[in-house]
A and B are shown apart, each in its own frame.
Chain A
Amino acid sequence: MKSRLTVALAGNPNSGKTTIFNGLTGARQHVGNYPGVTVERKEGTLRYGDTEMTVVDLPGTYSLTAYSVEELVARNFIIEEKPDVVVDIIDASNLERNLYLAVQLMELGTPLVLCFNMSDMAAAKGLSFDQEKLSRFFGAPIVNTIGHKGEGLKELLARVEEVARRGVQGPVSEIGYGREIEAELKTLVRLLEEENQIPEGYSPRWLALKLLENDREVGALVSSPAIRAQVEKSAKRLRGILGEDPETAIAAGRYGFISGACQEAAVSSVESRHSYSDKIDSVVTNRVLGIPLFLALMFLVFHLTFTVGDPLMGLIETGFGWLGDVVGGLWPEGSGSLLRSLLVDGIIGGVGGVVVFLPNILLLFLAISILEDSGYMARAAFIMDRLMHRIGLHGKSFIPMLIGFGCTVPAIMATRTLENRRDRLTTMMVAPLMSCGARLPIYSLIIPAFFPGNWHAPLLWIIYVTGIVLAILAAKLLRSTVLKGESAPFVMELPPYRMPTLKGVLIHMWERAGIYLKKAGTVILGVSVLLWALTTFPRPSEADTARFDAAREEILAGGHAEEEELLEQVDFREAEAALRHSWAGRIGVMMEPVIRPMGFDWRIGTALIGAFAAKEVFVAQLGIVYSVGEADEDSDSLRDKLRENYSPLAALSIMLFNLVSAPCMATIAVTRRESNSWGWALLQLGGLTVLAWVVSTVVFQGGVLLNLGI
């Protein structure tokens, strides 16, 4: 018996595989990549008695077809690296669905242990099976575990060692695919043996099945023209007799085996039970109610974000205002100190302007966290499936989009779950249109500045829905043009509903607050200091300064009644001239002809530049621009200043531009990495920028024509 074993963990997504992996290996883990693909490889070690085990956490898959990179990686690992044992982690409360993978592992002839995880949930549902019978059907011992409690892991390891000691598994059931398919399989197996076309590690029957299933990867292993011709002949014959593709018929055969095995071994029937989840789903995923319910929930989330968030924001704003006064007060009044300006206008004005929105961010993530942990978000994807199909995608694409409500970067990474490269690229291109958390400070700044209270939540809701609609339209356009093609078939998981725990939700919020504050204290701080420098230098010439001093002297000498007001105007003009003279101002002025049609001015232009580092910087930069230009110690809030300088229509245009344009450089960078192409990343950047310009210009110019909100 070997003293070192390699154990592979396979299983469906959501089966608790990673929880079991973490429970077995603890901190002794290592994360890498499978060669040539962007799929993570997780390995860990443990010691069981005298045996050292290396545990490999394979990617979560529903089956072992060649449709997705994850399935190929899992399959190739089992065939090529020949782990001593494969443990299939099964969600015992969704047995029949999870056994499809087990059947395929069984057909591969790999030494197998079936781990019936979440056995407490299965018991709660009243599900029980004669496990000895099932074990005989699959030729694999069955172990019950409750992964999140760490129960059953010792027994699992005992069975793993036992199976490894036993070597190749004993006689197992061979799935009968029916007379016609079996006849073709027999012919292909014979031909494979005669032509010596069986690569090492592969079983002839498995190869023949895969050839009939039109598996491209296996097809590439077989070079014999005679075998290729026979495969085509067999497939055509089967299509004629069965009235369906061999692939479909073989899948049906597997499901038939599973169904039969479960019926033989079932102590209670699954179909006779209606769980709470099913009752809730009959409403939530209803054809008529589903989408309106989703939109209503979104509205409620935004309403809460404003009603609860605003008072908290006010407190933080007051705090930063006080801090600015204290720091500014260290210098004499009217001091032109650069350090004072950097600290008060650059850092406190910039970073403070972003930190102030922490309550809104937390509330939004609290809501997303509750909806996800409860299981509702998976239903939202299910509901959108019908709509997605009409644009050539499927509901699974909506999950990365939902993640995009938090941040676009993991949303783009989440497209790895899409098997088809066209689906994946399409979803990657449009995911940035789902308004991410970083844009929320922009809306939270602008909406209350320009619109009455009862419009706050509806307007935010309109912005988010506009993003969703644009994403759908853009996807439709891409799928009809550059990314035309078929979608792959798929299985959509609907995990059971569960009550989110207070602890889990608070931990998510705490982590989120930490991430936001860390970003504010690092990237945003750094960029704010740079933008302050760009907005302050070069300083105005002595001649310009002298000109304004002369204007002040003239006013003071004139003895005007509105002397104070006139002096304020001079101060304002001087500050504005200084800003225009600065590097940032010059860039903004250069951009102005392009951005004017959208209702923007050069100040907004400078803010847009900085926003490419992180969207929140848009707010920070506006804070700097309107603070650096501030001569009056009793400064108005940023919202007041925006209201003085822009119209509600321009404000709407600003929000739409920020909604549609590329969120940040991290998005472009991750798109390049995930698509493996600068072309797609630059198309995303260029396409979104042009679309943003078009949308904002149409809205602004349309509003001007109709005399609305100007």
Chain B
Amino acid sequence: MMTLFFLTGILVLTYAMLVCHRIPALIQNFRLQSLFLFLVTLDFAVRHREAKVFVVAGLLLLVKVILIPSFLSRLVKKIKVDERLGLFLNPLLSLISALFLTWGASVFCSWFLYTRQTAVFAAFVVSITVVLVGFFIMVFRMKALSQIVGLLVMENGIFLLASVMAGGMPFFVEIAIAFDVFVCAIITGIFMYRINKVFTHIEVHRLTDLKG
């Protein structure tokens, strides 16, 4: 029951990302989503009393709830760009698209999954939805920052899948992935800083020097 509650929370927060107009809102939303992801993992750890999963949950809290969002917020303040995200698709249309993405995810999951457990099926659908919405944010928002957040959201979706199914992947893999996500956020952040420096904006659709 608890799991379903968390899943719903994550789904709602994922949809909420699509109505964000401003960069700080998107980052805070991501922070909240990561917090729910942390809760899912913690829930699993408490129920199964697995020390390693506690560590993974702690790592999740540190990296995705605290470090990455703070780093991104600080970076955005530092480069002083226009805080509007720049929507190619307005919030309502984005939401409707997200509903269709969820429907697509459930069709896809029922195609290859023969489970009777509602929780597992729901976890699959929510995870795939989160991945798809992350991708949607990357494509339909103008700023470089939204691509970073979109990528992190996609990764959150996959983390969720692994957590709900089996309390996460093998311990050392989980640690390595957390490290990797952190490094990825830092490096993309640095590149966003450089883009702003060379182009004096961070709008990805205006990066069109290279073609063909």
- Does chain A bind chain B? no
